[in-house]
Amino acid sequence: MWILFFLFFCQPLFAQNSTPDLFDQYRNDYLYQRDLYQNNHQKYLSKKNAYSQYQTVTAETELITATKDTLLSQNLTLKAYLMALRITIPQNPELQNELQKQEDWLTSQESTLRNLSTIQDLKIWSENFQKKYVTIQVQIYTSLLNQKTNHLQKTLLKLKNLAQNSGIDWSRNYQDKETQFNNFIEQAQEKTKIAQYEDRFNNFYPQAVELTESAKNILSSIRNDLKSTLIKSQPN
């Protein structure tokens, strides 16, 4: 009986706290993988330099190993990043699915990469990856923007609830500002639909972030209005 009670009532509490903990865990894993990638990348650069200088078989073998290590840790870094990013957008399952697809592709490439044994093979793989990375970047920045806009929309809801609870007429006082806010959010989301090049990422994110900042300024303005109204309305 007590066990059932515990499971029934305590589970939601754990569920609420699980996302931030999971995010911290995934984030730490990503940062660790990123450090490994950076180390491998430095080794790769020195081996590449050595190979271009000496052109020996040993230098070539070392370069192939360093390249594979770097590309493998690159895959792991991206996967870790996508996993951490995926749990920040629980409100958008479609986008989560897209991120999951990219993670799956990266996982599938691990065995392929391990089987590559020549510089030419690695070159072909890298050329394919350059094209694929455009799609990955589009998904990354679309997700980041989605996380941002979703967060702002939640804040708008909190402001609306606060106004409602304190007896302030939202539609009369803040409807125009809400419309402006929604326009900025829509414009920011439109930026993600910008055409992409085959092998180069056309970065829409900075412009989209500017629009979300404008939306955020509107929320700050509503917050300040509400604050001053409530301070003035309280009895002395």
Partner 1 sequence: MDEKIYQNIDHPKDNPDYIPTTSEKPLTNSQTKDKIKLTPKIILLLVLAFIILSLSITALIVTRNRQQNTNITPNPTPIVPVLDDSTKLNDSLIPTQYQDAFNEINQDLEFQLDLPVPQIDTKVGL
* Chain residues in the site for partner 1 (CB under 8 A): 27, 30, 34, 37, 41, 44, 67, 70-71, 74, 77-78, 81, 84-85, 88, 119, 122-123, 125-127, 129-130, 133, 140-141, 144, 147-148, 151, 154-155, 158-159, 161-162, 165-166, 216, 219-221, 223-224, 227-228, 230-231, 234
Cα–Cα distance, 95 to 110 (Å, whole number): 23
12 versus 235: smaller Cβ distance to partner 1: 235
Cα–Cα distance, 186 to 212 (Å, whole number): 9
Q: Which residue has tokens 């300040």? A: 224
Least spacing, CB of residue 231 vs partner 1, in Å = 5
Least spacing, CB of residue 15 vs partner 1, in Å = 20
27 versus 101: smaller Cβ distance to partner 1: 27
Ramachandran region, residue 167 (left: φ > 0; alpha: ψ -120 to 50; beta: rest): left
2 versus 234: smaller Cβ distance to partner 1: 234
55 versus 234: smaller Cβ distance to partner 1: 234
Contact 81, 29 (CB under 8 A): no
Least spacing, CB of residue 149 vs partner 1, in Å = 12
127 versus 176: smaller Cβ distance to partner 1: 127
Least spacing, CB of residue 2 vs partner 1, in Å = 33
10 versus 169: smaller Cβ distance to partner 1: 169
Structure tokens at 7: 């499971």
Least spacing, CB of residue 82 vs partner 1, in Å = 10
Cα–Cα distance, 27 to 15 (Å, whole number): 19
Cα–Cα distance, 181 to 175 (Å, whole number): 10
Contact 45, 87 (CB under 8 A): no
Least spacing, CB of residue 234 vs partner 1, in Å = 5
125 versus 187: smaller Cβ distance to partner 1: 125
Least spacing, CB of residue 3 vs partner 1, in Å = 34
Give DSSP secondary structure letters for 65-83. Answer: HHHHHHHHHHHHHHHHHHH
Cα–Cα distance, 91 to 223 (Å, whole number): 24
Which string of b and e fits 132-166 if b means at least 16 CB within 10 Å? ebbebbbbbbbbbbbbbbbebbebbeebbebbeee
